[in-house]
Structure 1
Amino acid sequence: MTVATKRLALVTGGNQGIGLATVRRLLASGVQVLAVDLADDNLVDLPLHRLVVNLAAKDAPARIVDAITALGSGLDILVNNAGVGGSRRLADSDDLLIDRIVDINLRAVLRLTRDCLPLMKSGASIVNVASVFGEVGFPGSTAYAVTKAGISQFTRQLASEISEKGIRVNAVAPGLIRTPMTETRLERDTSYRDAMLGATPLRRVGLPEDVASVIGFLVGEDASFVNGQVIAVDGGWLTCRYLA
């Protein structure tokens, strides 16, 4: 298979965590990948295309579309993974914090997806990375939870709007996953760790590869009739929450 005939995937936040695991998963399945992030130090040894860009920047969607167009083919897979945490209770959230979280976690996703849609044809697939915190209330994560709830609804809304073109739209909602973004909180915040791990029936912290494997399924032919879904990848936390 030549590069020109490979499916092309765009993965945002591809330099670490779930994004990096997804990049590796797609490469292993023979997909050509364009990875976008604020840095690319973990990508330099991988056989892919990469672009360093701040997704919150006004020109970010145009730069990414130009990079895709330069590869000489349309876009077959879009994985909207990039996101930031650090959320707090609403009373403790200043404008700077709210703007940072909303700009990256929600606004950038809508802008980039909108501008990528003209490059996508029938058979293409979009997967958004939501969160279990967007499905239920969880104290101390207001802005983050609201943006992830928005991603879940965006998934359903977009599926209703573009599926007639043969483009599927789904989302994954990770639970407690060990990533660079969650590592510090897992080590320092015992109440958070206990509330998440102690309420996960499988009794373990998830790995980025656990989420990447579901993303790999959703963009593949085996999921050709899966559309408009938000799939929890959380060891059962969302539906079976309990403490030992």
Structure 2
Amino acid sequence: MATKNKIALVTGGSRGLGKNMALSLAKKGVDILLTYNSRQEDAQAVVAAVDELGQKAVALQLNSSTVGGFDAFYEQVSTTLRETFQTDRFDFLINNAGTALHASIADTTEAQFDEMMNIHLKGVFFLTQKALPLLNDGGRIINISTGLARFSVPGSSAYASMKGGVEVFTRYLAKELGERGITANVVAPGAIETDFGGGRVRDNQQMNEYLASVTALGRVGLPDDIGGVVAFLCTEDARWINAQRIEVSGGMFL
């Protein structure tokens, strides 16, 4: 079976950066499978927006921290690919889904640590592993990390440590999947104005101003600053970019 358009699976595509990634990909002629955890209405709004751009989109529920549910999820993906897209493979995997944690090392609980690990490292590892039979040769894997894996801001140790693990994992993906022509890269946003982490960057004026002051371009980021970079990495122009960490932060903490 063959499909005319490329297809991207974007986890956490119902809001924030994931929504922007899905729309940016759709603007480049890519069809979209997006996942949401609990916000079905938001996810359907993104589906409608993709439809308006002339591309197909389907939203599927996924708890990216629960590996036990991944086989059933990919059965849904396979069914959707056949019934909606008339194909059996997709092309681009964007591991974006995630939640924030702000806690000092002294105050981080084991439960909080495990949640960060399950969502940001274990979940990404096994969601990617189980995607490999459905991913087209010549495809792309893009993992979302964070500027906090390069610079350190107190309160982000558990979250940033998992993202550091994802960055190492990405290099191994590139090495092991190179024979299939699949590239793997990291996009690492800096501080972005979204509802992530309770909207701390967006809504706390003092924090916003501080982060702008340590950014070369003099402001914090917006979702529109990120989605286009992810979409670019899925184009033919980016075919020779592999195993790279691309920080998209406006130049934070240089």
- TM-score calculated relative to the size of structure 1: 0.91
Alignment check: 8 A CA contact 1:127 1:215 kept: yes
Written as runs of structure 1 = structure 2, the 5 A alignment for 1:4-43 is 4-38=3-37, 39-43=39-43
Alignment check: 8 A CA contact 2:211 2:219 kept: no
- TM-score calculated relative to the size of structure 2: 0.88
Residue in 2 that maps onto 1:130: 145
Aligned to 2:225, which of 210, 222, 225?
A: 210
Q: CA offsets, 1:68-118, max 9 Å, x none?
A: 211122020000001111231111001121111111111110010000011
Unaligned runs of 5+ in 2: 52-56, 83-87
Alignment check: 8 A CA contact 1:134 1:150 kept: no
Residue in 1 that maps onto 2:44: 44
Instruction: State yes or no: 1:86 paired with 2:95.
Output: no
Counterpart of 2:164, as a letter, is A
Residue in 1 that maps onto 2:161: 146
Unaligned runs of 5+ in 1: none
C-alpha separation in 1, matches of 2:23 and 2:68 = 27
Residue in 2 that maps onto 1:119: 134
Instruction: State yes or no: 1:105 paired with 2:114.
Output: no
Counterpart of 2:100, as a letter, is G
Alignment check: 8 A CA contact 2:67 2:127 kept: no
Counterpart of 2:244, as a letter, is Q
Alignment check: 8 A CA contact 2:35 2:59 kept: yes
Work out the number of aligned pairs and report it. Answer: 236
Structure 1 residues 182 and 200, CA gap change in structure 2 (3 angstroms): farther
Q: CA offsets, 1:150-170, max 9 Å, x none?
A: 111111121111112100000
Shift of 1:136: 2.5
Percent identical across equivalent pairs?
34
CA RMSD of aligned residues (A): 1.7
Shift of 1:200: 0.1
Written as runs of structure 1 = structure 2, the 5 A alignment for 1:128-207 is 128-182=143-197, 184-186=199-201, 187-188=203-204, 190=206, 192-207=207-222
Shift of 1:194: 4.5
**SS class of match (1:204):** coil
